[in-house]
Structure 1
Amino acid sequence: MSGSGTDKTKTGVELTGPVVILVEPQLGENIGMTARAMGNFALTRLRLVKPRDGWPNISAQRAASGADHILERVELFDTVEQAVADCTLLFATTARAHDQAKPVVAPEAAALEMAGEFKSGGTVGILFGRERYGLQNEEVALANRIVTFPVNPGFASLNLAQAVLLIGYEWFKLSTAGALPFAMPERSEPASQHQMQAFFDNLVRELDRVEFLRPAEKRETMLVNLRNIFARMDPTKQDMHTLHGVVMAIAEGRKGPAKGGVLDGDQATRLRALLAEHGQGALPSESGTVRGLARLLRRNPTDAERILWQALTRDRRFAGEFKRQTPVGRHIPDFVSFVHRIAIELINPDETEVIARDRAMRQEWLEARGYRVISMKVEDVEANLAAQLDQLETGVLERR
């Protein structure tokens, strides 16, 4: 959400807080900004003693920035004595010493005393004086405590809203144990050593292509330093996916490798291992990373994928019915037909245990949702494509 920090969809905090009492406020804008500061810290009770420009005040409403619920409940009084009559504990805020023999406390200590008073069922009030000269001696004399702020003695004056905000902040912090409204989003789980090694191998391969790791006698030291840089990051799986994409984008450009957009066997196996590892236990909310890897695989087909894809798009039996590297839920089969509910999985020679396990889990998931999974070995596709297409046609006819 951009702009204002007020989220109308969230439930506000409700607290029994002190009564804010403004004595003869002059400007409607100051009353409105005071209401806004009160709303920030769940203070809702506002009393006005003889506001100069009367009440209601359109300037106050404009300055309240949405704190209308506070302004609508404002209580008006003709004298300070009337406004504080029900208070069992009263604080007077001032930046000047009034030479009165009563305790002087900071906002934090005042909040602690307020909490104790509320526990005993009392009513707490806080007096705030006029914009020009604050509270008079006889008004301060009504209070049990004086509240003042640790500010620059040579420039101690605060406007009404600032003073209310400082006390409201200390009260709200005490009442909510300092809980923040939000925290850093939960990071993805830490990257595994397998994932780190796959990324590092790819990085080193690309660095060797541009002869970065030279002179030769310094190569091992440079590699150790590079590895330590990434180890110190304590990276997550998401971090590794992002870094891998960065390296591939720099090395190959946005349109894929210069060799025609075809990954070699090692690269294809490595990418599928990363995708398989990330997919284990993934939640639907994590699909962004999975889809990102799918797009990378879609732009960079292996030889077998390219051959089979060309056949599927040109053969009249299948044209327009299959998609390549398209997510089905949180899984991504090599090819899928939503029309026939058929998924095609290509099996590479010498593939890792991680990939095989991921395929088995994916097949079980797809079959539970009514998809038929047809497995094709890469060597069979490259050696006898026609036979594989006939097998696929049989599967399509059976689904019909």
Structure 2
Amino acid sequence: MPGIDITRLAQEKGSPVIILVEPQMAENIGTTARAMANFGMARLRLVAPRDGWPNGRAYPAASGANKILDEVELFATLDDAIADLTLAYAATARMHGQVKPVVGPREAVTAMRPRIAGGETVGVIFGRERNGLLAEEVALADAILTYPVNPDFSSLNLAQAVLVLGYEWFTQAHDAALPFAMMERSKPAAKAQFAAFYAMLERELDRVDFFRPAEKRDSMVVNLRNIIQRMNPSRQDLATLHGAISGIAEGARGPARSGSLDKDGAETLRSMLERAATDKSGATAPVRGIARLLRRNPTEAERLLWEAMMKDRRFAGRGFRRAVPIGPHVVDIVSFDLRLVIDFEPLTQSEAAAASRAEKRQWLAERGYQVVILPAREVEADLAAALDRLAEIVPRGEG
């Protein structure tokens, strides 16, 4: 990078000398220089490079580590290149039949650090790309440096081998820490914020009849709270979750307040109704699909009454469910335990719709269901009166 001395760390704390014996490609010399610069090493020596030196093809591969290439030391023989070293390692994947200490990169760096700090010159010898170091070249070293790699594929690219050593050197010699860490989270959420979130979440789940069967509601609430608690959300995390769930809930309720679906939903519902109308055999797949759509898109009267019933102890434990298929029909609210159906009379409806609704009520009555008709207008105008009326009817359905 312009204006930055990439060899500064090596000058301040020293570094091992990297020696490449008869490197065959200038590009590999360049990538080796790049690997050295990555990890604070600066001294590169070349022994009889095949294509001579300097070589312009090395510089693009160095990706800016030009200073290391500019200061390369060139030697005719390996003996000359290691003449001033007090400790030399031969990097090789083979033992070469020689009795020498064998170390990995971590152990090698641990040994060379104090000696480099004491002013000694320590080097690591790397061989040719094609066949590595010769036995007589390994014999010149004090120890063998090798890497724990896949025994079925132990060949490393020259720059890769230098990179592994460089990583170990940098982490030890410079007490290197990661260059950045996870951004600091916002402050932990207070219990009051948790309580507000749980209240909103449970309210919205009640709205869509999530807690079923009703007798398991308490245990389901506990499980949900424990899931959130284990996440250990921060103040911002909880605020984001709160906003996201509220946004979904508001979006779902938006069209339902007018008792209508959006264009696509209305077309889907109309298609399913037409298909279901021709099938009198029972709760067909289309009818179940209609029930799901109606459950997710209640009219304003349905929403108001259902929410109120779920909070009213007079209706607790009576098994009420919303938008449920019974045979070829979908009923607004039903208690199978009480054989009781609540059917809303829409604010407006066509003659055909009125006839279809009357047919449904007759069909239900013939099968032993008590059908309570609640005009939507009355529910919206006086919800308490509608609840009281239902409460008077419900006991008569018991037994």
- The one-letter code matched in structure 2 to 1:193 is K
Q: Which residue of 1 aligns with 2:122?
A: 124
Q: Which residue of 2 aligns with 1:86?
A: 84
- The one-letter code matched in structure 1 to 2:144 is I
Alpha-carbon distance, 1:56 to partner = 2.5
Q: Which residue of 2 aligns with 1:59?
A: 57
**1:50 counterpart (48, 51, 56):** 48
- On the 8 A contact 2:7/2:68 being kept in 1, the answer is no
- The one-letter code matched in structure 2 to 1:150 is P
Structure 2 vs 1, CA of residues 256 and 194 (structure 1 numbering), >3 Å: closer, same or farther?
A: farther
**1:68 counterpart (52, 66, 69):** 66
Secondary structure of the residue aligned to 1:135 is coil
- Pair 1:203-2:198 in alignment: no
d(CA) in 1 for partners of 2:101 and 2:197? 65
Q: Which residue of 2 aligns with 1:39?
A: 37
Q: Which residue of 1 aligns with 2:216?
A: 218
- The one-letter code matched in structure 1 to 2:36 is M
Structure 2 vs 1, CA of residues 43 and 256 (structure 1 numbering), >3 Å: closer, same or farther?
A: farther
CA root-mean-square deviation:
2.8
d(CA) in 2 for partners of 1:208 and 1:179? 50
d(CA) in 2 for partners of 1:25 and 1:231? 59
- On the 8 A contact 1:106/1:149 being kept in 2, the answer is yes
Alpha-carbon distance, 1:194 to partner = 0.6
Q: Which residue of 2 aligns with 1:274?
A: none
Deviates more, 1:235-244 or 1:80-89: 80-89
d(CA) in 2 for partners of 1:8 and 1:252? 55
d(CA) in 1 for partners of 2:216 and 2:5? 57
Q: Which residue of 1 aligns with 2:9?
A: 14
Q: Which residue of 1 aligns with 2:290?
A: none
- On the 8 A contact 1:191/1:240 being kept in 2, the answer is yes
Structure 2 vs 1, CA of residues 190 and 13 (structure 1 numbering), >3 Å: closer, same or farther?
A: farther
Q: Which runs of 5+ in 1 are unaligned?
A: 1-5, 261-400
Per-residue Cα deviation, 1:274-297 (whole angstroms, up to 9, x for no partner): xxxxxxxxxxxxxxxxxxxxxxxx
- On the 8 A contact 1:252/1:258 being kept in 2, the answer is no
Secondary structure of the residue aligned to 1:48 is strand
d(CA) in 2 for partners of 1:112 and 1:202? 58
User: What TM-score does the superposition give when structure 2 sets the normalisation length?
Assistant: 0.59
Structure 2 vs 1, CA of residues 233 and 12 (structure 1 numbering), >3 Å: closer, same or farther?
A: farther
Per-residue Cα deviation, 1:168-209 (whole angstroms, up to 9, x for no partner): 122122223452222211111110001111111111121222
d(CA) in 1 for partners of 2:158 and 2:203? 65
Q: Which runs of 5+ in 2 are unaligned?
A: 259-399
d(CA) in 1 for partners of 2:60 and 2:26? 9
Q: Which residue of 1 aligns with 2:158?
A: 160
- The one-letter code matched in structure 1 to 2:124 is I
d(CA) in 2 for partners of 1:87 and 1:80? 11
Q: Which residue of 2 aligns with 1:104?
A: 102
User: What TM-score does the superposition give when structure 1 sets the normalisation length?
Assistant: 0.59
d(CA) in 2 for partners of 1:246 and 1:197? 17
- On the 8 A contact 2:19/2:46 being kept in 1, the answer is yes
- Pair 1:232-2:227 in alignment: no
d(CA) in 2 for partners of 1:143 and 1:151? 22
Q: Which residue of 2 aligns with 1:26?
A: 24
Alpha-carbon distance, 1:100 to partner = 2.6
Alpha-carbon distance, 1:231 to partner = 1.0
Structure 2 vs 1, CA of residues 173 and 47 (structure 1 numbering), >3 Å: closer, same or farther?
A: same
- The one-letter code matched in structure 1 to 2:16 is P
- The one-letter code matched in structure 1 to 2:90 is A
Secondary structure of the residue aligned to 1:58 is coil
d(CA) in 1 for partners of 2:231 and 2:210? 22
d(CA) in 1 for partners of 2:2 and 2:204? 47
Alpha-carbon distance, 1:8 to partner = 9.8
d(CA) in 2 for partners of 1:258 and 1:13? 68
- On the 8 A contact 1:92/1:146 being kept in 2, the answer is yes
Q: Where do 4+ consecutive residues of structure 1 move more than 4 Å? A: 6-13, 254-260
- The one-letter code matched in structure 2 to 1:76 is L
d(CA) in 2 for partners of 1:38 and 1:97? 26
Alpha-carbon distance, 1:13 to partner = 7.5
- On the 8 A contact 2:92/2:144 being kept in 1, the answer is yes
Across the two proteins, how many residue pairs are aligned to each other? 255
